[in-house]
């Protein structure tokens, strides 16, 4: 049997991408933007990565109800029934559960590949190779994570501690997961890199849909109960009522890592190098996007005199820069943001301040 014949990529596309404000907005979050300058949004790129592997009918997108039209607009080839809406975010575990019950209505042998809509993957062929490998391994009931070979001691990601090898699948070695480790401090991250058996947690997973449902039943019975009630209503006249009754009361923001992966027994990982970056800030874009002759990342009409390593983003205006170093300038219709690259994580401070001052319209 072709290991991918029951493989269903499920792209999570419900995020708001607030760290890339002011470009990423509530009305047009990160995954719907072309941040890399290649005329395709991050969601479209996530979709494009899958079409060499599976037909469009097997690609699903989970998103907020309010973004369903945007998803369909960006992915016209995708059947409307494959765009799964959440009336409200209830964390990644719930989103994955919603995907799983959709797949199981279609195919009781569905293998679910949980993917992200807003990460950069420069080696999509490695991702596809890994999904094919994972589809094989998943048949044995494993919960499989995709681990990223770390290149430096990043403190902003979770890590996965790897144990023994489980075997080779489609040319890739799978390893037993010993433990999930939360975002470490710098000495710990350095120790992880030195140890050599740690990878970054990418938030991408592969498993049989029925297996993850068993895991919900064991570790998240409240979610399992809700999904069980939702499933028969999907696509029918009572769907909205069922969501009101079973989905809305779910507790806030339980991640799949916390809710299932850290508690499950049979967890495996493929440590891979797929040119991955989560584009978690403007500084990440400055790091990963191609630079011009002056060492600057420019997606704007830009005129510079003696700047280096700056990022200049604007759709409409000329950005003129003089003598800047390691600086980020983002211009939008209603906001200009300027900061050193090293302060890119503090965009959240500005967002907090906008909320406190009642200026939410700058976030919308």
Residue of 131, 110, 116 whose CA lies nearest to 53: 131
Q: Which of 341, 189, 283, 339 is nearest to 350 (CA)?
A: 339
Considering the complex, state which of residue 265 and residue 334 has its C-beta at the smaller distance from its own copies: 334
Shortest Å, Cβ 357 to its own copies: 8
Task: Name every residue whose Cβ is closer than 8 Å to that of residue 221 and which is 6 or more positions away in sequence.
Answer: none
Sort strands 276-277 and 143-148 into parallel, antiparallel or unpaired.
Answer: unpaired
- Cβ proximity to its own copies: between 162 and 327 the closer is 327
Contacts 24+ apart (CB under 8 A), 64-68: 64/14, 64/88, 64/89, 67/13, 67/14, 67/29, 67/32
**Residue 362: CB minimum distance to its own copies, A:** 6
Contact indicator for 282, 350 with CB cutoff of 8 Å: no
Task: Kindly state the smallest distance separating residue 120's Cβ from its own copies, in Å.
Answer: 23
C-beta closer to its own copies: residue 249 or 323: 323
> Cβ of residue 278: shortest distance to its own copies, in angstroms?
20
H-helix segments, 16-122: 42-50, 68-74, 92-106
Rounded to whole angstroms, how far apart are CA atoms 141 and 60? 22
Ramachandran region of residue 44, left (φ > 0), alpha (ψ -120 to 50) or beta? alpha
Is the Cβ of residue 88 or residue 303 nearer to its own copies in the bound state?
Answer: 303
* Nearest approach, Cβ of residue 284 and its own copies (Å): 16
Distance CA 316, CA 198 (A): 44
Residue closer to its own copies by CB (options 293, 322) is 322
Whose Cβ is closer to its own copies: residue 100's or residue 300's? 300
Whichever of 193 and 339 has its CB closer to its own copies, that residue is: 339
Smallest distance from its own copies to CB 333, Å: 8
**Least gap, CB of 56 to its own copies (angstroms):** 40
Q: Which residues, in sequence order, are bridge partners of residue 63?
A: 85
Q: Considering the complex, what minimum distance in angstroms separates the CB of residue 312 from its own copies?
A: 9
* Backbone region of residue 203 per phi and psi (left: phi > 0; alpha: psi in -120 to 50; beta: other values): left
Closest to its own copies by CB, 86 vs 304, is 304
Largest Cα span, the chain: 63
Q: Which CB, 14 or 22, lies closer to its own copies? A: 22
Where on the chain is the footprint of its own copies (CB under 8 A)? 22, 303, 305-306, 314, 316-324, 327, 329, 331, 333-340, 342-343, 346-347, 349-350, 353-354, 357, 359, 362
Contact criterion met (CB below 8 Å) for 252 and 90 = yes
Cβ 23 to its own copies, closest distance in Å?
12
Integer Rg of the chain from CA: 21
């Amino acid at each position: 049997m072709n290991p991918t014949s029951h493989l269903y990529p499920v792209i999570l596309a419900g995020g708001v991408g607030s760290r890339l404000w002011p470009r990423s907005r509530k009305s047009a979050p990160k995954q719907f933007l072309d941040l890399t300058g290649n005329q395709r949004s991050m969601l479209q790129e996530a979709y494009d990565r899958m079409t060499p592997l599976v037909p469009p009918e097997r690609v699903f997108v989970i998103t907020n109800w309010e973004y369903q039209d945007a998803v369909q607009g960006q992915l016209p080839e995708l059947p409307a029934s494959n765009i799964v809406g959440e009336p409200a975010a209830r964390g990644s575990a719930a989103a994955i559960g919603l995907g799983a019950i959709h797949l199981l209505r279609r195919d009781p042998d569905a293998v679910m590949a949980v993917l992200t809509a807003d990460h950069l993957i420069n080696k999509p062929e490695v991702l596809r190779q890994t999904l094919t490998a994972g589809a094989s391994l998943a048949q044995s009931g494993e919960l499989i994570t995709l681990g990223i070979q770390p290149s430096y001691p990043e403190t902003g990601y979770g890590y996965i501690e790897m144990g023994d090898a489980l075997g080779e699948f489609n040319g890739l070695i799978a390893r037993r997961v010993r433990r999930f480790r939360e975002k470490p401090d710098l000495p710990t991250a350095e120790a992880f890199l030195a140890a050599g058996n740690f990878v970054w947690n990418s938030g991408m997973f592969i498993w049989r849909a029925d297996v993850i449902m068993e895991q919900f039943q064991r570790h998240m019975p409240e979610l399992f109960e809700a999904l069980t009630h939702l499933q028969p209503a999907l696509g029918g006249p009572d769907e909205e009522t069922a969501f009101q009754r079973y989905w809305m009361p779910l507790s806030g923001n339980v991640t799949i890592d916390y809710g299932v992966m850290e508690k499950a027994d049979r967890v495996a990982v493929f440590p891979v190098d797929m040119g991955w970056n989560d584009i978690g800030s403007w500084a990440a874009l400055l790091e990963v996007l191609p630079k011009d002759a002056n060492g600057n990342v420019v997606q704007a009409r830009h005129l510079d005199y003696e700047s280096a390593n700056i990022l200049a983003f604007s759709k409409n205006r000329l950005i003129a820069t003089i003598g800047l170093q390691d600086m980020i300038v983002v211009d939008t219709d209603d906001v200009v943001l300027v900061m050193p690259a090293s302060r890119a994580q503090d965009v959240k401070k500005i967002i907090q301040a906008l909320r406190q001052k009642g200026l939410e319209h700058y976030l919308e």
